[in-house]
Amino acid sequence: MTATANATPLVALRDLSVRFVSRDATMHAVNGVDLDLAAGKVLCILGESGSGKSVTLRALMKLLPRSARVTGRIEVAGRDVQAMNERQLQDFRGGDVAMIFQEPMTALDPVFTIGQQIAETVMRHEGATRAAGMARALELLELVQIPSAKRRLAAYPHELSGGLRQRAMIAVALACRPKLLLADEPTTALDATVQIQVLLLLRKLQEQLGMGVIFVTHDLGVAGEIADRVAVMYAGRVVEEGPVGAMMRGPLHPYPRGLLGATVHGGMRGQRLTTIPGAPPSLETLPTGCSFAPRCAEAEPACLAGVPEPRSPVPGRSARCIKVAAG
d(CA 240, CA 189): 27
Q: List phi, psi (to 5°) of 167.
A: -65, -40
Whether residue 23 contacts residue 72, with contact meaning beta carbons closer than 8 Å, is answered with no
Q: What is the pTM of this model?
A: 0.90
Q: Mind listing the pLDDT tens digit of every residue in the chain (327 residues)?
A: 545 445 789 999 999 999 999 888 999 999 999 999 999 999 999 998 889 999 999 999 999 998 899 999 999 999 999 999 999 999 899 889 999 987 777 889 999 999 999 999 999 988 889 999 999 999 999 999 999 999 999 999 999 998 899 899 999 999 888 999 999 988 877 787 888 888 888 898 899 889 999 999 988 888 888 999 999 999 999 999 999 999 989 999 999 998 888 776 666 666 777 888 889 999 999 988 999 999 998 999 999 999 999 999 999 999 999 999 876
Q: Which amino acid is at 40?
A: G
Which residue, among 131, 123, 183, 186, has the nearest Cα to 153 in the 3D structure? Answer: 131
Whether residue 290 contacts residue 307, with contact meaning beta carbons closer than 8 Å, is answered with yes
**Contacts by 18-25 with C-beta closer than 8 Å and gap 24+?**
18/52, 18/55, 18/56, 18/59, 18/64, 18/68, 18/69, 18/70, 18/236, 19/68, 19/69, 20/65, 20/67, 20/68, 20/69, 21/67, 21/69, 22/67, 25/284
Reduced DSSP (H G I as helix, E B as strand, rest coil) percent helix, strand, coil of the chain, to 5: 35, 20, 45
d(CA 256, CA 47): 9
The residues of the chain that CATH labels 3.40.50.300 are: 1-96+183-258
pLDDT, residue 267, reads: 62
Strand-pairing partners, residue 289, are none
3-class SS of residue 180: strand
Other beta carbons less than 10 A from residue 308's beta carbon? 22
CB burial of 160-198 (b: ≥16 within 10 Å; e: otherwise) equals beebbbbbbbbbbbbbbebbbbbbbbbbebbeeebbebb
Taking every pair of Cα atoms in the chain, the longest distance, rounded to a whole number of angstroms, is 67
d(CA 306, CA 286): 12
DSSP label at 108? S
Helices then strands (H, E): number in the chain?
11, 11
pLDDT, residue 327, reads: 64
Q: Which CATH superfamily is domain 1-96+183-258 in?
A: P-loop containing nucleotide triphosphate hydrolases (3.40.50.300)
pLDDT, residue 265, reads: 66
